[in-house]
Amino acid sequence: MRKVDKIAWAAGLFEGEGSIVIRPYSRKQVKFFRCNGWTRMLRVAMTDEDVVKKFRDVVGVGKIHPVARKKPHYKDQYVWVCSDWPNIKRILNLFLPFLCARRTAKAFEMLSKPARKPGGITKTHCKRGHPLRGRRANVYITKGGVIHCRACQRVRQDKYKTEGRYFTTAQYFHDYYLNQKKANAA
Ligand SMILES: [Zn+2]
């Protein structure tokens, strides 16, 4: 088989059985890396181990791991995964000429996702529009790297004072604690 034919075969398999996974970091990941970013990987899941192995040999990278059946009438699966960015780029560029519309769009979306930016959350304003960066930012940053807006905290406190409703669980438990104390004293 010529190399081009091998790649065409792999691209066809990928079109049918593969997936392009792009998802924003979970809260845990944001805390751990201290910034926003994207989880990016290529995946091929099949019940035939030899086919997945052949695919791996053609593209030259990635890991294969077995996944146990999720329901009794399913079969065990073999999953090829590549999460190494230079190789993702290389493989997608190899496959692009062979892919059809939906996956081509997804491939371009994947290629446009930036690597994570070290050194901070990429958000510049909170949900109420207060600045989170720069000289006018009024924020505090927890050990985990999460930015909290002090202006919003003030808004919640004022609402609580005027409307008497709970806007944070902290306020609720503060009152609960005071009531308990009163009850114990009586
Ligand atoms: Zn705010």
Give all domains of the chain, ordered by start, each with its CATH number: 3-112 (3.10.28.10), 139-185 (no CATH)
Residue 44 Cα to ligand 1 middle (Å): 43
Instruction: Tell me the mean pLDDT in the region 145-169.
Output: 83
**CB of 13 closer than 8 Å to CB of 59:** no
Q: What pLDDT does residue 61 have? A: 92
pLDDT above 90 (res 91): yes
Q: Which helix (H) or strand (E) holds 20?
A: strand 18-24
Cα–Cα distances in Å, from 121 out to 102, 128, 134, 142? 31, 17, 13, 13
Residue 157 Cα to ligand 1 middle (Å): 13
pLDDT in tens, 59-77: 999 999 998 888 888 888 9
CB under 5 Å of ion ligand 1: residues: 126, 128, 130, 149, 151-152
